[in-house]
Amino acid sequence: MLRALAIGFLSVLATAMVGCAGERTVQFGAVLPLTGEAQIYGQPIQRGIELAFDEIVAGDEDEGTITLSVLDSASDPEKAAALTAQLYEDGALAVIGGVTTAEALAMVPVADRAERVLLSPSASSPELTGISKYFYRVFISDAREGATMATFATQKRKVGSVVILAKSDNPYAMGNQQVFQSEFERQGGQVLDLIEFPSGSDLEGLVQRVLTLDPEAVYLAAYAADTAALIRQVDAEGYKGDIYTTSAFSTPDIIAEAGQAANEVFLTQAVFEADSEAPEVQSFVGHFRERFNSAPDLYAAHGYDAMKTLAAALERGQSGGAPSEFWASIRSLRDFSGVTGSIQFDERGDVQKFPRVYVVADGQLLDFEAEVEKRRRELMERLRKLEERQSNG
């Protein structure tokens, strides 16, 4: 077994033995924003991919060769598209990317022209659903995320009015706000105002505009840095209503950046429970901690699952060896056990998973429904003990 590492524009992570590929070399690639605005997502995804790939290397004993090349898009969709084309031209069977919706939208036409698979670890816009037979994603669609939050707001929190703040030059943000607004209004809620803002906007002025409308809740749709800034500004202005946002806010670093202002902020995200007793999750978390000296977040977990999904599809071998038919191997996966849940795709390339609502408490993300149930059980137990003492009194 040969291993090669190169520092620079192209990073060849490893060469491994895989029996499913026979004696031919199978090349995979990844285009990730390792620098720039979206690096907060790209870097943990890279760690997850790297860990998964090394486990594939260590666990295979048959013949064949698989390589993985990782390139930095620098958070630039045009560059991401060009690098994807480069990887396909160099022989990549499939590419992991785009991390953001904007990058994915730029990369899909390249995958179409090359007739090769593009597997996204985190792009979630509904606009990507069914966009190409070569495009798949292991991250849930905003269609489910936005609808889940709207239902939570109206049914669980009994919120009747909301103001939406959405970044206008961000496809991810606009996709989320459209789904949330549609479902919130369908369930009887009132959107007092939809405030779309471009990069460089006066956030203090935006928040003051929100407060004049006195909504019961605010829904924030943007990437991490803007969301954290808005949450801090809303808190500084003394707003007391609910704050809802998206999975873009779920990284530990950005929650820490928002500080105390993040407490009691609600967000939707795919399920990744680092304390799960599932063997595959325990193994992943343990190995990740050993290697990177930190706990994996939601994005590292999805990077890990993306790489494992490609390996599982390669092993399944439904494409008959033709690169242009590898999509059939991806599409035929059934109930593949990932650390983010069971992975299989519908005919439109979307993974069949559902989000939950989480709440920030002292810098930690808690599954809201699970936490409510836990506290209910604790209360019932205290009442039982009190009644027992009284009856013995």
242, 218 Cβ separation under 8 angstroms: yes
- Of residues 271 and 255, the one with the higher pLDDT is 255
What's the rounded Cα separation, in Å, for the pair 13 and 291?
A: 15
**Span 15-41, mean pLDDT?**
76
389 CB-near residues (< 8 Å, 6+ apart): none
Token look-up 């991250």 returns 139
Question: Would you tell me how many other CB atoms lie within 10 Å of the CB of residue 389?
Answer: 9
Question: Which element (helix H / strand E) includes 342?
Answer: strand 341-343
DSSP helix/strand/coil, 35: coil
Say what the pLDDT of residue 12 is. Answer: 39
Which of 121, 12, 122 has its CA nearest to residue 70? Answer: 12
Question: Would you tell me how many other CB atoms lie within 10 Å of the CB of residue 1?
Answer: 10
Burial class (CB in 10 A: 0-12, 13-18, 19+), 314: buried
Question: In this structure, what are the phi and psi dihedrals at residue 89, rounded to the nearest 5 degrees?
Answer: -60, -30
What's the rounded Cα separation, in Å, for the pair 50 and 155?
A: 41
What's the rounded Cα separation, in Å, for the pair 382 and 88?
A: 62
Top-tier CATH class for 143-269: alpha beta
Q: Which fold has domain 10-140+275-343?
A: Rossmann fold (3.40.50)
In the chain, DSSP finds a helix count (H) and a strand count (E) of: 12, 15
Lowest mean pLDDT among 51-60, 77-86, 149-158, 223-232: 51-60
The pTM of this model reads 0.84
What's the rounded Cα separation, in Å, for the pair 16 and 265?
A: 44
What's the rounded Cα separation, in Å, for the pair 197 and 220?
A: 11
Domains 10-140+275-343 and 143-269 share a fold: yes
Residue 4 has pLDDT above 50, yes or no: no
Alpha-helix runs per DSSP H in 242-361: 252-258, 279-292, 298-316, 326-331
76, 26 Cβ separation under 8 angstroms: no
Say what the pLDDT of residue 133 is. Answer: 95
Token look-up 């530990």 returns 252
Question: What confidence tier does 388 reach under pLDDT thresholds 50, 70, 90?
Answer: confident
Lowest mean pLDDT among 24-28, 77-81, 147-151: 24-28
Instruction: List, for residues 48-64, the tens digit of each pLDDT value.
Output: 999 999 998 776 655 45
Question: In this structure, what are the phi and psi dihedrals at residue 372, rounded to the nearest 5 degrees?
Answer: -60, -45
Question: In this structure, what are the phi and psi dihedrals at residue 16, rounded to the nearest 5 degrees?
Answer: -135, 165
DSSP 111-172: HHHHT-EEEESS---GGGTTS-TTEEESSPPHHHHHHHHHHIIIIIS---EEEEEEETT-HH
Say what the pLDDT of residue 276 is. Answer: 87
Output the six-digit token pair for 67.
Answer: 């390589």
Spell out the domain ranges in the chain: 10-140+275-343, 143-269
In this structure, the strands spanning 190-197 and 161-167 are parallel
Mean pLDDT of the chain: 89
Residues counted in the chain: 393
Q: Report helix angle 279-292 to 298-316, nearest 10.
A: 120
Question: In this structure, what are the phi and psi dihedrals at residue 257, rounded to the nearest 5 degrees?
Answer: -65, -35
What's the rounded Cα separation, in Å, for the pair 134 and 120?
A: 11
